[in-house]
């Protein structure tokens, strides 16, 4: 989970990429930080709950531009299911194929993506590790 103070770092990141800081963008970012791996619809619903009127299209567009600058990670949680998170620390995901639950997993040693990129010759754009299975509840 990201702390609210980190919002100033996020603002710097947006500015360094020439993205205008609008109240709508900041509200969407703060809502994403509050929710646990939300879908775009969940972000939109949460905004409605607190009487903030931002269209679902704006939510999607904002997520897309935040993803482009590496602030947001997209998580594929099964058929037609896409969840998002603000990238804070390096962690990866265990995803339940039945109920869609997502748990964060941390590796003791950070994966050296730069080394993998140079060995493979790939220019990495996104670095995700997703492991699919059944959570303890669905297993029983
Ligand atoms: Zn499950
Ligand atoms: Zn996560």
103 C-alpha to center of ligand 2: Å? Answer: 7
129 C-alpha to center of ligand 2: Å? Answer: 10
37 C-alpha to center of ligand 2: Å? Answer: 6
Contact indicator for 96, 134 with CB cutoff of 8 Å? yes
Task: Give the ligand at the shortest distance from the Cα of 102.
Answer: 2
34 C-alpha to center of ligand 1: Å? Answer: 22
Q: Is the pLDDT of residue 4 over 60?
A: no
115 C-alpha to center of ligand 2: Å? Answer: 23
- Around ion ligand 1, residues with a beta carbon closer than 5 Å are 96, 98-99, 101, 135, 138
Q: How far is CA 111 from CA 4, 115, 116, 127, in A?
A: 27, 9, 9, 10
Between 3 and 109, name the one with better pLDDT: 109
Q: Is the pLDDT of residue 3 over 70?
A: no
- Mean pLDDT for 96-118 is 91
Task: Give the ligand at the shortest distance from the Cα of 72.
Answer: 2
Q: Is the pLDDT of residue 15 over 90?
A: yes
CA-based R_g, the chain, Å: 16
Check the CA dihedral 95-41-60-19 and report its sign: negative
Q: Is the pLDDT of residue 1 over 80?
A: no
What is the rounded average pLDDT for all residues in the chain? 91
76 C-alpha to center of ligand 2: Å? Answer: 12
- Mean pLDDT for 104-133 is 91
Q: Is the pLDDT of residue 79 over 70?
A: yes
104 C-alpha to center of ligand 2: Å? Answer: 5
What is the pLDDT at residue 77? 87
Distance CA 131, CA 85 (A): 16
In sequence order, what are the residues at sequence separation of 6 or more whose Cβ sits closer than 8 angstroms to the Cβ of residue 55? none
Q: 108-135 burial, b if ≥16 CB within 10 A, otherwise e?
A: eeeeeeeeeeeeeeeeeeeeeeeeeeeb
Q: How confident is the model at residue 24 (pLDDT cuts 50, 70, 90)?
A: very high
Query: Which pTM was predicted?
Result: 0.84
Would residue 14 be called left, alpha or beta, if left means φ above 0 and alpha means ψ between -120 and 50 degrees?
alpha
**CB atoms inside a 10 Å sphere around CB 36:** 11
Distance CA 133, CA 1 (A): 24
Task: Give the ligand at the shortest distance from the Cα of 101.
Answer: 1
What is the pLDDT at residue 136? 97
């Amino acid at each position: 989970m990201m702390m609210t103070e980190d919002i100033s770092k996020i603002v710097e990141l947006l500015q360094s990429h020439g993205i205008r800081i609008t109240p709508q963008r900041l509200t969407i970012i703060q809502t994403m930080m509050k929710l646990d791996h939300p879908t775009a619809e969940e972000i939109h619903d949460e905004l409605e709950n607190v009487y903030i009127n931002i269209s679902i299209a704006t939510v999607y567009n904002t997520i897309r531009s935040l993803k482009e600058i590496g602030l947001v990670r997209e998580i594929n949680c099964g058929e037609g299911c896409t969840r998002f998170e603000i990238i804070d620390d390096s962690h990866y995901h265990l995803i339940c194929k039945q109920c869609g639950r997502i748990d964060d997993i941390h590796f003791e040693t950070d994966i050296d993506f730069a080394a993998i990129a140079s060995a493979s010759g790939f220019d990495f754009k996104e670095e995700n590790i997703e492991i699919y299975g059944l959570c303890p509840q669905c297993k029983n």
